[in-house]
Amino acid sequence: MPLTLSTLSAGIIAPLVGFAGTVALVIAAAQAVGATPAQTISWLAAICLAKALGGMALTWRYRIPVVMAWSTPGAALIATSSGIAFPAAEGAFVVAAVLIILTGLIKPLGDLVARIPAGIAAAMLAGVLFRFVADVALAAPQAPLLVLPLVAIFLVARLVHAASAMLVVVAAGVALTYGLGLAGPLPEGAALSRPVWTTPDFVPSAILGLGVPLYLVTMAAQNLPGLAVLRANGYAPAAGPIITTTGIVSLFSAPFGAHSSNLAAITAAIAAGPDSHPDPGKRWPAGIVYGLAFIGFAAFAGFFVALFAAMPKALVTTVAGLALTGALMGSLAGAMAEDRTRFASLLAFATAASGVTIAGVGAAFWGLAIGLVALGVERAYAASRGVNSR
């Protein structure tokens, strides 16, 4: 394996950035669906193992740096859900994984997903993410000595090196929390992770309100951009088999609590970019190092869950919100990019951001539905008047 110092460095930095930046969001997602501490540890460990093994297998098979990540927008979607029990959430994860597998295997299904207007899909995602970013402002008055310095650090760090900004914020946040005496005691006996099997429960409202949106945001906001990053760095990824593999590892990890695993985008740019190695053909070992790092994170998932359990809520809220600012900016830009879908996208965004639950089905689904209905009405009206709305 042609491992160089720069490739090794990229393989280490990428998982540190990816893990530190959004681990708080995964823990928040687990708490939202009522996971116990043991189930939360199992969730984090299972998803770390899933993306480690899946990415290493794909990297070795194709000799390109394929790195996987957990679905960050998916975790945000789960964290904003309400009234969904943990087994029902797992059932939704299984359905999302099966849909991803089918998308990789059946090209027409992938084409159907691609036909969903990008603006409306982005608006739905923006609505989900908005609440997390807005919560940072709400947390500031509650703990100003903690939140405001972290926001200031983030503003500077993202200008110096955007990819590492959240790593700096997390380190500063933990240090500041202990310095201000805001940390609680670390729970005992939670250092190492243990897998916990929970039999999934297939509840129609959870499948419709969580499973389908999770599938859509994972494909639109993670897998497709992940493929684009690989292509931009000179690779020709086998899209079908790669997407199928992400679904398979998600399917096997779901009963242990894990939500969707998918292709990485930002961290993929670190491992697959020229900083990893000038020769694209010699960058693939970074994917192996990346996977080994996440196996280590999986082993000590219990420690990270315990650490965040000892942190004040304001810190977790701030870290999660700041980590999603980039994704929110991209989603809002995509939602408002085209005149022909702008109004429908606005309705989708407002509905998804509202947090409304109807018939047990969450706001993300209703946001997508109202956006598609509004766009359909506009197009039907335009067609009746002989106007081309496309």
What is the per-residue pLDDT across 226-238, written as a single tens digit (0 to 9) for each? 888 888 788 888 8
User: CB–CB of 80/33 below 8 Å?
Assistant: no
**What pLDDT does 255 receive?**
97
**What pLDDT does 147 receive?**
93
Please give the single-letter amino acid code of residue 340: R
User: CB–CB of 127/327 below 8 Å?
Assistant: no
Encode pLDDT of 265-320 as tens digits. 777 777 877 777 788 888 888 889 989 999 999 998 888 888 887 888 888 888 88
**Complete DSSP assignment for 132-174:** HHHHHHHHTTTSHHHHHHHHHHHHHHHHHHGGGHHHHHHHHHH
Confidence at 186, pLDDT banded by 50, 70, 90:
low
* CA separation for the pair 67, 51 (Å, rounded): 8
pLDDT at 388 over 70: no
User: CB–CB of 26/202 below 8 Å?
Assistant: no
Confidence at 326, pLDDT banded by 50, 70, 90:
confident
Mean pLDDT of the chain: 86
**What pLDDT does 40 receive?**
93
DSSP 291: H
* CA separation for the pair 254, 330 (Å, rounded): 28
pLDDT at 198 over 60: yes
Token pair 């914020």: residue: 169
Hey, which of 89-93, 194-198, 328-332, 365-369 has the most confident mean pLDDT? 89-93
Lowest mean pLDDT among 15-24, 90-99, 258-267: 15-24
Encode pLDDT of 64-122 as tens digits. 889 899 988 889 889 888 889 999 999 999 999 999 999 999 888 777 776 778 788 88
What is this structure's pTM?
A: 0.82
Q: CA nearest 21: which of 332, 322, 310? A: 322
Q: What is the largest CA-CA distance in the chain?
A: 70
Confidence at 200, pLDDT banded by 50, 70, 90:
very high
**Complete DSSP assignment for 353-370:** HHT--BTTB-HHHHHHHH
In whole angstroms, what separates CA 336 from the centre of its chain? 22
